[in-house]
Amino acid sequence: MVIVTGAAAGMGKAIALKYAEAGAKVIANDLREEPLQALVNEAGSLAGSITPVAGDTSDEVVISKMIDEAKKLKRLDVLVCNAGIMDNFAPVEDVSDEMWQRVMNVNLNAPFRQIRAAMPLLETNKEGGSIIIVTSVGGLRGGPAGVTYVASKHGATGLMKAVAYASADKNVRCNAIAPGAVTTDIGKSMAAMYGKDIHEAGSAKSMKGIHLNPRSGSPEEIANIALFLGSSASSLINGTTITADAGWSTY
């Protein structure tokens, strides 16, 4: 049994389909119900299955619904905390409390709450449990976004490491994937979310290093890493971030 958040599009969708293709029963969460149902239909011919749970990924009630679905099979193998949002590229002096709280709630509070709720079930898995947090190269270094996003992803990296150490003797691993540029609809979602509120100067400064990026990745490439981290093939990997940016961050 696998839980994937932010599963209606982009990397989350690719991850959910990859696990279903491998035969897993997947609980897919996203804010929107329609694209989740489309995901269920798309996975209809695959070896596994997808059960949709729509709602705010940080909402305790929604999280409980996901855990309750896993409890029906009395096991949880993998939790993929993928849901995340960008900020509007604002530097610290222009960040509102609303922006800070909104981004932190999705990018940091939500994974914390999901892991807290899932841990008792993961710990009972005799074959071991795996937690995967999708962070960002922005969680390894600064620059690729505004201060709020970068701080949230650094926090998620710290959360991953703390959980990994604390749960290692309980046969539960926790790792992160830090994508660089990935070809998704993130631009459209940012436009819908922020519109004209994108901080132009902050965006321009953040994009200064984009020309150094060797190439953008695909959601499927990130899904391949997620499948590996959830499998026994990665049994010795714990507390680690796998950077997936085609070497962008090596410069």
Is residue 144 over pLDDT 80?
no
CATH code of the domain containing 69:
3.40.50.720
pLDDT in tens, 41-69: 999 999 999 999 999 999 999 999 999 99
Give me the chain's average pLDDT, please: 94
Residue 206 banded pLDDT, cuts 50, 70, 90: confident
Give residue 13's pLDDT band: very low, low, confident or very high (50, 70, 90): very high
pTM of the model: 0.95
H-assigned helices in the chain: 10-21, 33-42, 60-71, 97-104, 110-123, 147-167, 186-194, 200-206, 219-230
Does residue 220 belong to any structural domain of this protein?
Answer: yes
Residue numbers of the domain that contains 11: 2-244
Give per-residue burial for 25-59: e unless 16+ CB within 10 Å, then b. bbbbbbbeeebbeebbeebeebebebbbbbbbbbe
- Pairing state between β 2-5 and 78-81: parallel
Which residue has 């609809």 as its token pair? 185
249 assigned to some structural domain: no
Residue 4 has pLDDT above 80, yes or no: yes
Average pLDDT of 160-187? 93
Q: What is the mean pLDDT of residues 73-94?
A: 95
**Residue 204: predicted pLDDT:** 86
| Domain count along the chain | 1
Q: Is residue 189 part of a domain?
A: yes
Per annotation, catalytic residue among 19, 149, 165, 251: 149
Dihedral sign from CA coordinates of 207, 209, 213, 219:
negative
The reply to whether 149 belongs to the active site is yes
pLDDT mean over 163-186: 94
Is residue 250 assigned to a domain?
no
The predicted pLDDT at position 202 comes to 85
